[in-house]
Copies of this chain bind each other. A is one copy, B any other.
Amino acid sequence: MHTTLVSSLALVAPGTPIRTGDTAWLLVATALVLLMTPALGFFYGGMVRTKNVLNTLMMSFSAMGVVGVAWVLVGYSLAFAPGGKWVGGLDNVFLRGVGLGGGSWGATPHLLYVCYQATFAIITVALISGAVVERMRFGAYLAFMAIWSVVVYAPVAHWVWGGGWLAQLGALDFAGGTVVHVNAGVAALVAATVLGRRKDYGRQALLPHNATYVLLGAGLLWFGWFGFNAGSALAANGTAALAFANTLFAPCATLVVWMLIDLARERRTTAVGAATGIVVGLVAITPAAGFVSPLGALALGAVAAFPSYFAILHRPRTRLDDSLDVFAAHGTGGMVGALLTGVFAQAVWGGTDGLLFGNPSLLAKQALAVLAVAAYSGVATVAILRGLALVVPLRRTATEESLGLDLVEHGEEGYARGEGAVLVLPELVPVGAPAHGDLVSPLSSQGFTSVEEAL
């Protein structure tokens, strides 16, 4: 370890020159994409019940740690190091050979490109959590994230962006419609199925405990998504501007259409719906952002509202407890976006001409890419979860679900009022002893008076 460490510490690979303007933008874009993960935490966290808010937030926040480390160690290499059709090589394991010069990705430092891609890996994994909130064991979730990011995310990223078979085929995915959203959406569907429904699902109304957090998350997601899409140009150029404009205008259209459907159906425009509409528009434009015209983006955003709207409407009537509708929003939105890229893309704006411009073959390639990613993600996610289940139970018991995962997994409350809380001095509860039981027997009056007054 020591020698490896020191030797890899010592290596700074050279590269082509970098450009300050492009680097400035990629620095910011990377920070913006990282911000999306906490933002997602709030988007999701607002939608669960009070007793699970911290657990839901932690599912996003912990992804930054676990997936970040996995990415440095092996994920990046498997996705982007020179390799074959299916997976990258091991040249950049532990970030060996990653320096500060430019390269095939552009005139920006290689290490920064690693960071940029890391933030994509992180958010993709965090997206899945919406399907398993309020019941999955946190330990199992941490293990799942580490494995999935390496076994599923890295290869799929390689297929599309690392020079793998989908790239060679000519399928278009500007910023991750398939790699991120179809991938996470299908994994979410599968995970919800493997985990099973929450005990109260379909019996009780499980309401968003804080709709303002849903909106906060959506606002910050939109902000961060400019880094996601316009950053994917990997330069501060016209393509970045196009991707930016499309990331602004497509969700505008989705939001307007979503509110109109809501109005038509309910005569009321829901706020959680508006937040969802924004996210769906962002998802749908993601694969197309640098390939379609702004007016095309407006049309794409408007059209994309429908499938996800009705998928979300339909889902609660099924047995599928994809609790926060990850599949309906990201899976469906990603698929629609990927397919519509095959319709609206235009060579003159930087893509390949799509259906609307006389080239139906692009649509076929897009469909193939969607299917391939969905199939691999689905199968691999089942395998990972079933494998994990052999080692550790995947979900909490019904009683623990009732107590809420904030208490059970984290030993905290989101909004503690402190009434009736009594300090326990460390000496009273031996370290490690009561532990996960969370519950100790009732306090005698001694318990109360034993609080050491003279600290």
Contact = CB atoms under 8 A, between A and B. Distances in A.
Interface stretch (A81-89, A166-174, A183-191, A204-212): A204-212
Given A64-B278, A207-B421, 10 more contacts: A20-B236, A30-B248, A34-B248, A38-B220, A95-B295, A111-B245, A203-B451, A204-B418, A209-B417, A270-B410
25 contacts: A6-B356, A8-B293, A9-B292, A23-B240, A25-B27, A27-B28, A27-B241, A34-B222, A38-B216, A49-B418, A57-B215, A64-B255, A65-B277, A111-B244, A119-B248, A203-B453, A206-B418, A207-B418, A211-B414, A211-B415, A266-B411, A269-B409, A270-B410, A271-B406, A317-B455
A109 interface: yes
B455 A318 contact: yes
A134 B66 CA distance: 35
A306 interface: no
A204 B451 CA distance: 9
**Complex copy number for this chain:** 3
Interface string A403-443: 00010111111111110011101100001100110100000
Given A21-B20, A95-B294, A112 B410 contact: no
B65 A259 contact: yes
Contacts of A299: 5
Interface stretch (A148-156, A324-332, A341-349): A341-349
Contacts of A236: 20-21, 23-24, 27
Given A23-B25, A203-B451, A265-B431, A412 B209 contact: no
A261 to B, nearest CB: 12
A421 B205 contact: yes
Contacts of A238: 18, 100-101, 109, 111
A35 B252 contact: no
Nearest to A2: B356
Chain A interface, >50% SS class: helix
Contacts of A406: 271
A43 interface: no
Given A19-B21, A112-B241, A209 B436 contact: no
Interface in A372-400: none
Contact of A219 (B35, B65, B435): B35
A406 B210 CA distance: 13
A311 interface: no
A427 to B, nearest CB: 9
A100 B65 contact: no
Interface string A38-62: 1101100100011001100110011
A90 interface: no
Interface in A257-276: 259, 263, 265-272, 274-275
A367 interface: no
A309 interface: no
A199 interface: no
A12 interface: yes
A363 interface: no
Interface in A229-244: 230, 235-242, 244
A69 interface: yes
Given A24-B24, A62-B259, A202-B452, A410 B269 contact: yes
A223 B416 contact: no
Given A9-B344, A142-B259, A215-B57, A268 B68 contact: no
Nearest to A45: B212
Contact of A426 (B251, B317, B452): B317
A35 to B, nearest CB: 5
A161 interface: no
A94 interface: yes
Given A24-B236, A203-B453, A421-B205, A435 B267 contact: yes
A62 B269 contact: yes
A213 to B, nearest CB: 7
